[in-house]
A and B are shown apart, each in its own frame.
Chain A
Amino acid sequence: MTGALTQAEQTDVLLQGERVCKVFGPARARHQVLFDVDISVPAGQCVAIIGASGSGKSTLTRILLGLETPDGGDVRYRGASIEGRAGAPQLRVLRDESGIVYQNPFESLNPRWTAFRSVAEPLRLRDRRIDDETCERRVREALTLVSLDPDEIMWRYPMDLSGGQAQRVAIARAIVTGPSVLLADEAMSAIDVAARVQILDAFAAIRARNPRMAMLFVSHDLGVVQHIADRVLVLHEGRVVERGTVRQILETPQEDYTKALIEAATL
């Protein structure tokens, strides 16, 4: 298949899903959303999973990060399975070393918490005895990295932030612990187009700061993906229809579905 990983990348795979299947619903109304999906996320790369709503892309990423269990197949982090009872320790490692950015910041930030408290939460959960000074320093670093002024933002509540600001606070929360894997699940689609550029800038800055970090970027929009992804995986009705580098997908799409996605993202 085109776009297969090079030898070097293969040895560098951080997160890997093999023949991942997922079925929803009771026995009578079974609805399979993922069919034998293979995916590899090497360290330092951004893999975009793209498809229309209902393609199963969110489910796939949630399984990869251990937030849901697959009905078939295996997920490995740093070479060890995270599934089942035997995978529990490795799942904890993955949880410890990953961060998630959700679609809508106003749903993913506690409305009754200040931005500071939200960003500091992962720090406090990982180290119960962290002192206030270290905590504040690291929160400030994270906010600065996503181009927010800590003094202006830290003590505000989400309702006093714009969509772009709130989403960058959510991003700061996801990266404050310096994760090895960052998942952005439709992190742009609830945000104003003008503010999306800021979100993209924030992700770019984070990747520049932490070049070994692997990133999973879920989107329905190739226009967004072109700026951030190294590889693209096109998902359609639970199956991978095409995969490759961004350039391959954009310049020489093979499938009609991919071509339709490109057409939809063209001005």
Chain B
Amino acid sequence: MGVSVNHLTIRIGGAPIVSDVHIDVRDGQRVGLIGSSGSGKSMIARAMMGLLPVEATVSGSIDVNGEQIVGMQDRDLAALRGAAISMVFQNPGASLNPLLTVGRQIALPLELHYDLANEDRQARVLAMMRKVGLDESLVGRHPHELSGGQQQRVGIATALITSPRLIIADEPTTALDSMTQRQIVELLVSLVDEAGAAMLFITHDFSVLAHATQYCYVLDHGTIVEQGRTRRVLAEPSTPQGARLVMAARELTLHGVEGEGGGTRGERAQ
């Protein structure tokens, strides 16, 4: 079970954006996919949801819980999306429908995939809101009345309410401030573990990855250049691309402040 990506190649207009990528995420596993912008990580996420732009050509296989995503009909994909696979998006302000209240937003996947009585659905929505740390009084609010962190909690609640087996989190913390980032990562990790689901966590920031995942893949220019246990990659990256990302993360956290002192940057620049 889980998801297994093999020989995935995605082309748009000739040039491959992703080439020959292998990724395995087993049930109960939290896996990271890290790379700088333009490395193709969002394309892989979209391919898993069957949401690639029409002009893209895909080869290889994406196996989600035994079902082949590549080449699947849109109708069958729609049945999977939001039920077996869910996505948490980067910008919660843009990915929530501004006209829907929090309650309606979270209930949407339930309405699409399950035939529930109104009271039952409402009860599940409220239970989900408590789980993600949203006060029940927010149920009638609209997205613009919430803070960025609250909006992302709504996004997470919407993604998790159908108990999907796979959650794809595409840069879920990038648009948030550092304190909220940490809270959202911890929330995602605890909810995914509690449900025993699998998570693919996409980011450009190793310091986020360190808290969110056990295993990770480093993506550069559309190919996987390095993979391994997150701790190991973070401690001793074996490729220059990995090292660059790790170094940036080390430099931009308070990890080494006592040892290195605050003046290192100024000297380096000169």
Residues of the A chain whose Cβ atoms lie less than 8 Å from the Cβ of B177? 52-53, 189, 220-221
Tell me whether B68 is interfacial, beta carbon within 8 Å.
no
Q: How far is the CA of A189 from the CA of B249 in the complex (A)?
A: 13
Complex interface: stretch among B44-52, B72-80, B116-124, B258-266: B258-266
Residues of the B chain whose Cβ atoms lie less than 8 Å from the Cβ of A241? none
Residues of the A chain whose Cβ atoms lie less than 8 Å from the Cβ of B262? 226-227, 246-247, 250
Whether A192 pairs with B204 at a CB distance below 8 angstroms is yes
Residues of the A chain whose Cβ atoms lie less than 8 Å from the Cβ of B266? 204, 207-208
Which residues of B143-191 are within 8 A (CB) of A?
147-148, 176-182
Task: Give the contacting residue for A193; candidates B148, B245, B254; CB below 8 A.
Answer: B245
Complex interface: stretch among B9-17, B192-200, B205-213: B205-213
CB distance from A249 to the nearest CB of B (A): 11
CB distance from A149 to the nearest CB of B (A): 17
Q: How far is the CA of A46 from the CA of B269 in the complex (A)?
A: 16
CB distance from B20 to the nearest CB of A (A): 23
Whether A267 pairs with B207 at a CB distance below 8 angstroms is yes
Tell me whether B232 is interfacial, beta carbon within 8 Å.
no
Q: How far is the CA of A192 from the CA of B182 in the complex (A)?
A: 17
Complex interface: stretch among A125-133, A136-144, A172-180, A258-266: A258-266
Complex interface: stretch among A60-68, A92-100, A194-202: A194-202
Tell me whether A228 is interfacial, beta carbon within 8 Å.
yes
CB distance from A235 to the nearest CB of B (A): 12
Tell me whether A222 is interfacial, beta carbon within 8 Å.
yes
Of all chain A residues, which has the CB nearest B179? Answer: A264
Tell me whether A163 is interfacial, beta carbon within 8 Å.
yes
Whether A220 pairs with B207 at a CB distance below 8 angstroms is no
Whether A222 pairs with B254 at a CB distance below 8 angstroms is yes
Tell me whether A122 is interfacial, beta carbon within 8 Å.
no
Which residues of B197-253 are within 8 A (CB) of A?
204-207, 210, 244-245, 247-253
Chain B interface size band reads 35 or more
Tell me whether A205 is interfacial, beta carbon within 8 Å.
yes
Q: How far is the CA of A202 from the CA of B270 in the complex (A)?
A: 10
Tell me whether B97 is interfacial, beta carbon within 8 Å.
no
Whether B270 pairs with A264 at a CB distance below 8 angstroms is no
Tell me whether A223 is interfacial, beta carbon within 8 Å.
yes
Of all chain A residues, which has the CB nearest B268? Answer: A201
Q: How far is the CA of A194 from the CA of B37 in the complex (A)?
A: 10
* Total A residues in contact with B, Cβ cutoff 8 Å: 38
Q: How far is the CA of A265 from the CA of B38 in the complex (A)?
A: 25
Whether A267 pairs with B254 at a CB distance below 8 angstroms is yes
Residues of the B chain whose Cβ atoms lie less than 8 Å from the Cβ of A194? 36, 204, 244-245, 248
Tell me whether B257 is interfacial, beta carbon within 8 Å.
yes
CB distance from A264 to the nearest CB of B (A): 4
Given known pairs A192-B37, A192-B204, A194-B244, the reply for A223 and B178 (CB within 8 Å) is yes
Whether B269 pairs with A208 at a CB distance below 8 angstroms is yes
Q: How far is the CA of A263 from the CA of B178 in the complex (A)?
A: 10
Residues of the B chain whose Cβ atoms lie less than 8 Å from the Cβ of A226? 254, 257, 262
Tell me whether B255 is interfacial, beta carbon within 8 Å.
yes
Of all chain B residues, which has the CB nearest A228? Answer: B265
Q: What is the 8 Å Cβ interface bit string for chain A, positions 70-89, against chain B (1 contact, 0 not)?
A: 00000000000000000000
Whether B178 pairs with A261 at a CB distance below 8 angstroms is yes
Residues of the A chain whose Cβ atoms lie less than 8 Å from the Cβ of B254? 222-223, 226, 250, 262, 265-267
Q: How far is the CA of A192 from the CA of B36 in the complex (A)?
A: 6
Q: What is the 8 Å Cβ interface bit string for chain A, positions 182-226, against chain B (1 contact, 0 not)?
A: 000000010011111100111011011000000000001111101
CB distance from B171 to the nearest CB of A (A): 10
Tell me whether A254 is interfacial, beta carbon within 8 Å.
no
Of all chain B residues, which has the CB nearest A260? Answer: B179
CB distance from B33 to the nearest CB of A (A): 14
List 20 other contacts, CB 8 Å, given A208-B266, A267-B250. A53-B148, A189-B177, A193-B36, A193-B204, A193-B205, A193-B206, A193-B207, A193-B252, A194-B248, A197-B247, A200-B251, A204-B270, A220-B179, A221-B177, A221-B178, A221-B252, A223-B252, A223-B253, A227-B265, A264-B181
22 contacts between A and B (CB under 8 A): A52-B180, A53-B180, A162-B38, A193-B206, A194-B204, A194-B248, A196-B248, A197-B251, A201-B265, A201-B269, A204-B268, A204-B269, A207-B266, A223-B207, A223-B253, A226-B257, A260-B179, A261-B179, A262-B254, A264-B181, A266-B254, A267-B249
Q: What residues of chain A have their CB less than 8 Å away from a CB belonging to chain B?
A: 52-54, 162-163, 189, 192-197, 200-202, 204-205, 207-208, 220-224, 226-228, 246-247, 250, 260-267
Q: What residues of chain B have their CB less than 8 Å away from a CB belonging to chain A?
A: 36-38, 147-148, 176-182, 204-207, 210, 244-245, 247-255, 257, 262, 264-266, 268-270
The 8 closest A-B pairs by CB, nearest first: A204-B269, A220-B177, A267-B255, A227-B265, A267-B253, A223-B253, A264-B178, A264-B179
